[in-house]
Each structure stands twice: as C-alpha cells, then as structure tokens.
Chain A
C-alpha cells in the first residue's frame, strides 16, 4: 500500500544533555544580570544597544538549546529565521518612514 518503507526510529533529535540545559539556564540568568546592571550605567545610546544585544543572545540561546534548533531539522531553522526576518523588514521599512519624515506644519 505504502510506496515508502516505514521508518520507525525514535522520533525527534536526541535530547540535549542535562548539563547543556542547566548551563544554558545559568548563562541566561547571568545575561539577565548583565542586562539589568548595564542599564544602570550611563552609556548613552549604548544602553539600548547593550540591552537589545543581550536580548538577542538570550533569544538565540533559547532557540538553539531549549527549542533544539541546533540539532533539529534545518528546515525549522529556516522557518524560525523567516519569522524574525519578516519582522525586521516591517520595522526597517517603517523606520525608513518615521526617521526621514519632514514635519509638515498644519496650514492653520
């Protein structure tokens, strides 16, 4: 009936080790501390850069280790990146407008 042979290996990628999960959590909490600490330093625009940079690293850690993108199907990595890429397009082209807008005075 089926043209394909039945495949019956255990479903999913091999689980990551206990250690890698716990180290990831530790890293996330350290990054959280760094983020909170750096926010209190007077760095000017670099406050925002540092905070967002740390948030991106944290998100990548969750995506690769906890969500197993590192070991799972490559297609899933593409799907996840497309989601973020499209959001980046929306923000970038939206900013292209807001940042270059010339204020129009009302005629009255």
Chain B
C-alpha cells in the first residue's frame, strides 16, 4: 500500500481527523497500560512499606551493573525510534528503516541480558516456588520482592518482545515506502508504545535495582 493512495476510512471526514482519532486512541490505550503495570508498582509500594529491610536485602541480590546497562540500552532505543519517526516525517526512508532496525536490535539485546540475569538468579536460588534457597528472617519478605520482580519484569519483557516484533513490521513497511511525510500514523503509534515500555523500565530500575545499595 502506498502512502499517497492511503484511503481515509469512511467514518472520518479527512486525514487530520483520522490522525487525531488514532493518536487519542493510542494514548488512551497507553493510559490503560500505565494502570496495568501500575497495579504491580502499587503492590510493590504497599509490600515494601511492610518489609523495608527484606526489600533492601533482596534488591542487593540483583545485578545492578546489568540493570544499569539495560536501562541505558532502552533509553538509547527510545531515542532511535524517535529519530526514525522524525526521519520519515522529513521524507527519509533508508535511515528511518536503519533506525528501526537499531531499535529492534537494542530491544533484543535487552531481552538477552535479562535472560542472563534470570539464569544467574536461578542459580543463586532466588526464584520463589521454582528454586528458592533463601533462609533467615528476611526469607518471606525477599520472596515477595522476587515475586513482584518476576511479575514486573516478566510482563515488561512480554511488552518488549511485542515491541520488537512491531519494530520489525514497521521497518519492513518503512523500507517498502508505506510511510511518507503525509501518512505515517502507524509508525508514530508504534513509537509511542515503545516509549511507554521504556517509561515502565525507567521506574523499574530504581525500585528493583537501587534499593539499599548504600547500606
């Protein structure tokens, strides 16, 4: 489908109205995502109030260096996809496709690094109900921390995976000239989704990796 012949669906009057509807719809969806992840963050907050020491202790068992690198990777990927949208808006195609490829690769590298983290935690006995070997007064509180950690990062990784697939699709469509200055809404919406996944991680980083590092 060529961007220039992209028809406006019959319920809309013109392309401007169509874009308004699409972006508003996407943002409403992102608001639901905020609350979807929000439950886990709220659960984390309420549980941390009950087990402050255990949460600090558990957080010290996470891999701060890897966590920091993962954060940097996601932030960079966000910039890459933002630049890709910009490039399409300015009429570019090759560079835009390349930037989407970079985004997807950064996303994949994030997932791989996270896989290594999970594996290390498995060996250390930090996965409740699968392999959990922690003992002592903090064992229960740490188990709750790790449950929340796996739920949050698990759901986040699912979102990253979806994002990588979408980046692939968008890259393919961009390469084949589906988008131009006038019509690029799907690309724009995919970028919004990717940024939101990034924002979730921005909050994961301090609450999972940085608690009790100084003590």
A residues at B contact (CB < 8 Å): 2, 4, 6-12, 14-16, 18, 21-22, 24-25, 28-29, 32, 35-36, 39-43, 47-48, 51-52, 54-55, 58-59, 62-63, 65-67, 72-73, 75-76, 79-80, 82-84, 86-87, 90-91, 94-95, 98-99
Contacts and interface: CB of A to CB of B under 8 A. Distances in A.
Nearest to A54: B206
A53 B188 CA distance: 28
Interface of B: 13-17, 19-20, 23-24, 27-28, 30-35, 38-39, 41-42, 45-46, 49-50, 64, 68, 71-72, 75-76, 78-79, 81-83, 85-86, 89-90, 181-185, 188, 191-192, 195-196, 198-199, 202-203, 205-207, 210-211, 213-215
Give the dominant DSSP class at A's interface: helix
A83 B34 contact: yes
For the complex of A and B, list the 3 residue pairs with the smallest distance between their C-beta atoms, beginning with the closest: A83-B31, A51-B206, A87-B38
Contact of A21 (B27, B64, B79, B192): B79
Given A2-B13, A6-B13, A86-B35, A12 B24 contact: no
